[in-house]
Amino acid sequence: MMDNNQDKLEVVKTTQKAVEQMKIDDIEEAPDQAYATFQCQYCGQEKIVAGSIVYDGFVLCNDCVLLAEVGFALKKFDNINTLLDSMEDKRFETLYSRIFDQEKEENENNSNNN
């Protein structure tokens, strides 16, 4: 059923790195602007500009960009409106936290082995 979980985790890790890198790049390029805050149009929280992306006119914070990019990468949806609609209910949040929890467990297991 979940036989390709390992592949999904790889996708999540790669995406996490890329999204984190966007934030780092923004901070390097324009530190003054990077730490300005705005209200994210998905999570509604006050977030720093660094790492935010505009999708079809919606400005998403770096955390939400990660959710969006993971969703795109895993082909959960192919446009941001689907994301915004689907994320209104909590199924996706549950799905993602499950993926992230699995990754955390895996990381912990790895560090135990070392």
C-beta of 24: minimal distance to Zn ion in Å? 18
Which residue lies nearer to Zn ion by CB, 19 or 40? 40
Burial (0-12, 13-18, 19+ Cβ within 10 Å), 70: buried
Among 9, 27, 43, 95, interactor with Zn ion by CB under 5 A: 43
- The residues in 23-42 that bind Zn ion, with binding defined as CB under 5 A, are 40, 42
Number of residues that bind Zn ion (CB under 5 A): 5
Q: Would you say 11 or 64 has its CB closer to Zn ion? A: 64
Residues linked to residue 50 through DSSP beta bridges, in sequence order: none
CB 111, min distance to Zn ion, A: 29
Residue 61 contacts residue 47 (beta carbons within 8 Å): yes
Q: Enumerate long-range contacts of 40-45, CB under 8 Å, 24 or more apart.
A: 40/64, 42/67, 42/83, 42/84, 42/87
Confirm or reject binding of residue 83 to Zn ion (CB under 5 A): no
Q: Residues 49 to 78: which contact Zn ion by CB under 5 A?
A: 61, 64
State the amino acid at position 39 in one-letter form: Q
Residue 19 CB neighbour total at 10 angstroms: 20
CB of 98 to Zn ion, least distance (A): 20
In the complex, the residues that contact Zn ion under the rule CB under 5 A are 40, 42-43, 61, 64
